[in-house]
Amino acid sequence: MDSIFILTGAGISAESGLGTFRDKGGLWTRYDLSRVATPEGFRADPALVHDFYNMRRKNCLDAAPNAAHAALARLERDHPGEVTLVTQNVDDLHERAGSTGVIHMHGELRRALCAACGHRWPAPERMLPEEACPSCGRPATRPDIVWFGEMPYRMDEILERLARATLFVVIGSSGEVYPAAGFVDEAAAQGIPTLEINLEPSGRRGLFDRGLYGPATEVVPRWVAESLRD
């Protein structure tokens, strides 16, 4: 059975107004990631970190899925085989476009996590450092986001699905952050055909069998239409 494994990155949500991390004007060119996206940064200044994710959560709520998100939801619906959608993104635009079973390996803006007991619950639009965990009552709540130096979520499941893929596709990622950036090596080592879809060739272009370049809202719907025709 055909099994398409898709990994998406910030580039797929760029045209929904959520920007990326490493492009010109990207988040990491404007914010110090060691202060807002590490456990150490959170311990040092939880209010600063909450403000950062409250801003991103508001932007996400104000954004809408675009044609690339919609095309992947269509592929999941109409492709006779299996479609696995893993995202590095913490926004919920894939789900709002209709995708189901999305694996958020870096967490989700719309969820809160208790750093003391591990309880998870739907995040309010604005999270506050003093907010108590609804389960253990301790004021140790954090955004349910995987920070640098922390293990991404559901890695066993991701690698299991990758192992049975017949096509591996990356959409809108610079390929600079591991372990996600290493999935293409894994796919190539298992002889799985690989495709990169991006605004321009990424630094890992040489590892892909094929590349399609341009804005995701133009290239992804075209690739999905082509895939469903075949």
Q: Please give the residue ranges that form the binding site for ligand APR (CB under 6 A).
A: 9-11, 14-15, 20-23, 26, 88, 106, 172-174, 176-177, 198-200, 202, 215-216
For 119, the token pair is 């309880």
Pick between residue 58 and residue 205 the one whose CB is nearest to ligand APR: 205
Catalytic residue of the set 50, 94, 106, 119:
106
Detail the residues annotated as belonging to a binding site for Zn(2+): 114, 117, 133, 136
Residue 176: CB minimum distance to ligand APR, A = 5
CB of 136 to ligand APR, least distance (A): 27
Residue closer to ligand APR (CB basis): 3 or 174: 174
| CB 60, min distance to ligand APR, A | 14
**Residue 69 carries which side chain, given as an amino acid letter?**
H
In DSSP terms, 83 is beta-bridged to 4
The question of whether 69 is a catalytic residue gets the answer no
Nearer to ligand APR, 20 or 84 (CB): 20
Residue positions in the annotated binding site for substrate? 53, 56
Beta-carbon contacts of residue 21 (< 8 Å; ≥ 6 apart): 10, 27, 28, 174
- Give the C-alpha separation, 137 to 53, whole Å: 22
Q: Which is nearer to ligand APR, 133 or 216 (CB)?
A: 216
Q: How far is the CB of 164 from ligand APR (least distance, A)?
A: 24
Q: Which residues are catalytic?
A: 106
